[in-house]
Amino acid sequence: MTLLSQRREVGEFRKRYKWMALFVVLVFAVLLGRMIQLQLVECDHYAQLARENITRTVTLPATRGVIRDTNGRVVATNRAAYNVYLTPP
């Protein structure tokens, strides 16, 4: 009688093991499918989002000749000069 119950327990274990293995394989298949979708199918979308998070375009008016430091203080300014130079060919 104990031998029969051990066989039955082994059979039950194998049945549970097959279901557990099937579940693990399905989970990995879903994860692999999602990884392929993110890396190959939607890569352009997420690359654009990453670029937008990293860079920012700020348009500033061009002030010719004025050099400013990072705090906005003027380091060098321009002044009017009315000299004309001619270089002969």
Would you write out the chain's pLDDT as a tens digit for each of its 89 residues?
455 577 777 778 888 889 999 999 999 999 999 999 999 999 999 999 988 888 777 787 766 778 889 998 998 888 777 777 777 76
Q: How many domains does the chain have?
A: 1
Q: How much is the pTM?
A: 0.47
Confidence (pLDDT) at 33: 96
Distance between CA atoms of residues 45 and 55, nearest Å: 16
| Owning domain of residue 35 | 2-76
3-class SS at 37? helix
Q: What is the predicted pLDDT for the residue at 64?
A: 73
Do residues 64 and 72 touch, judged by C-beta distance below 8 A? no
φ/ψ of residue 68, rounded to 5: -120, 155
Q: Determine the pLDDT at residue 2.
A: 52
